[in-house]
A = this chain, B = another copy of it.
Amino acid sequence: MIVGLGPGPAEWTTPEASAAIDAASDVVGYGPYVERLALRTDQRVHASDNRVEMDRARLALKLAAEGREVAVVSGGDPGVFAMAAAVFEAVEDNPQWLKLDIAVAPGVTAMQAAAARLGAPLGHDFCAMSLSDNLKPWAIVERRLRAACDGDFVIALYNPASKARPTRITQAFDLLRAVKAPATPVAFARAVGRADETLTLTTLGEADTSFADMATLVIIGSSETRFISRDDERPWMLTPRAYGARR
Contacts and interface: CB of A to CB of B under 8 A. Distances in A.
Interface stretch (A61-69, A107-115, A198-206): A107-115
B143 A150 contact: yes
Contact of A106 (B112, B123, B126): B112
Interface in A130-167: 130, 135-137, 140, 143-144, 146-148, 150-153
Name A's interface SS: mixed
B123 A126 contact: no
A5 to B, nearest CB: 11
Contacts of A240: 85, 89
Contacts of A140: 152, 243-244
A238 interface: yes
A146 to B, nearest CB: 7
Interface string A41-53: 0000000000001
Contacts of A116: 78-79, 84, 103-106
A128 to B, nearest CB: 6
How many copies the complex holds: the figure is 2
Given A92-B228, A105-B116, A128 B126 contact: yes
A137 B243 contact: yes
A29 interface: no
B120 A85 contact: yes
A10 interface: yes
A89 B10 contact: no
A19 B14 contact: no
Contact of A115 (B12, B106, B121, B244): B106
Interface of A: 6, 10-16, 19, 53, 77-82, 84-89, 91-92, 98-99, 102-109, 112-113, 115-117, 119-130, 135-137, 140, 143-144, 146-148, 150-153, 228, 230-231, 236, 238-245
